[in-house]
């Protein structure tokens, strides 16, 4: 569906919160927040241009995976891990300081010694050293065999996408329905306890819960 440039710009601006939400979920993983946000904005624009409201689901449900997909490009470039500029710079400083230390003391320095000489925190020193190491492919073939070292892992991006989509669907529920889901699945209360708190019968809670879950599933799918 074609939308006017004015409506398009308004839709992009009004949904920047989705980009911030995704960026906050992925921050602290070696990429600057600003880089995540910029990539997410590219994803948001693509989502606005590609969204078809006639398909029956909310814009956020469609947009979040697209936004995360653009952010994911920062972490993976031809199968390698992207490292932030600040971490690369710290890695270079550590390398130079390590060489100077070896020349002076004729031995390898400890992490603590390097951190103290550069005024770095020990944790960030370890991060920078790790980021400077060569990347080892977990799918490369062994020199002595045809075996691959494939390690299956859950997609963090997919988990983030699901959580954000779930939060969006929850926000669209009315007050009582939202309370039923929160008490049932966040607080772990029984239907009987929920019924007493909301002035309902257990049967009413059970029936309403089924209706709410059916609605939520249809929106998430």
pLDDT of residue 213: 86
Higher pLDDT, 28 or 152: 28
How would residue 196 be classed by pLDDT, with cut points 50, 70 and 90?
very high
Query: Do residues 148 and 140 make contact, with C-beta atoms less than 8 angstroms apart?
Result: yes
Q: pLDDT tens digits for 102-116?
A: 888 888 888 788 888
Predicted pLDDT at 89: 80
- How far, in Å, CA of 39 to CA of 19, rounded? 9
Kindly report, residue by residue over 34-53, the tens digit of the pLDDT.
Answer: 888 888 888 888 888 888 77
**Quick one: pLDDT at residue 137?**
44
Residue 204: pLDDT over 70: yes
- CA-closest candidate to residue 75, choices 123, 41, 28: 28
Distance in angstroms (rounded) separating the CA atoms of residues 183 and 201? 15
pLDDT tens per residue, range 68-89: 888 887 776 544 445 566 777 8
Better pLDDT: 6 or 67: 67
36-66 exposure pattern, b = at least 16 Cβ within 10 A, e = fewer: bbebbbbbbbebbeebeeeeebbbbbbbbbb
Q: What is the pLDDT of residue 200?
A: 92
pLDDT (tens digit per residue) in 125-184: 776 776 655 544 434 444 444 444 443 444 444 555 666 677 777 888 888 998 898 888
Which pLDDT value is given to residue 160? Answer: 57
pLDDT over 90 percentage in the chain: 7
DSSP 76: E
Average pLDDT of the residues in 18-29: 83
């Amino acid at each position: 569906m074609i939308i006017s440039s004015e409506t398009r710009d308004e839709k992009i601006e009004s949904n920047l919160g989705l980009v911030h939400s995704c960026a906050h979920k992925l921050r602290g993983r070696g990429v600057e927040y600003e880089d995540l946000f910029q990539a997410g904005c590219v994803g948001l624009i693509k989502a606005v241009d590609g969204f078809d409201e006639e398909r029956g689901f909310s814009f956020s449900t469609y947009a979040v995976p697209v936004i995360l997909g653009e952010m994911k490009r920062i972490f993976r470039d031809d199968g390698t891990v992207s490292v932030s500029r600040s971490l690369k710079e710290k890695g270079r400083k550590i390398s130079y300081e390590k060489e100077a230390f070896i020349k002076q003391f004729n031995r390898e320095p400890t992490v603590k010694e390097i951190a103290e000489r550069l005024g770095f925190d020990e944790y960030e020193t370890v991060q920078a050293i790790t980021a400077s190491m060569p990347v080892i492919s977990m799918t490369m073939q062994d020199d002595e065999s045809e075996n691959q070292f494939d390690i299956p892992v859950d997609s963090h991006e997919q988990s983030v996408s699901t959580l954000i989509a779930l939060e969006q669907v929850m926000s669209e529920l009315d007050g009582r329905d939202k309370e039923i889901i929160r008490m049932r699945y966040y607080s772990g209360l029984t239907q009987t306890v929920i019924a007493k708190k909301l002035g309902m019968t257990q049967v009413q809670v059970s029936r309403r819960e089924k209706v709410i879950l059916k609605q939520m599933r249809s929106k998430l799918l």
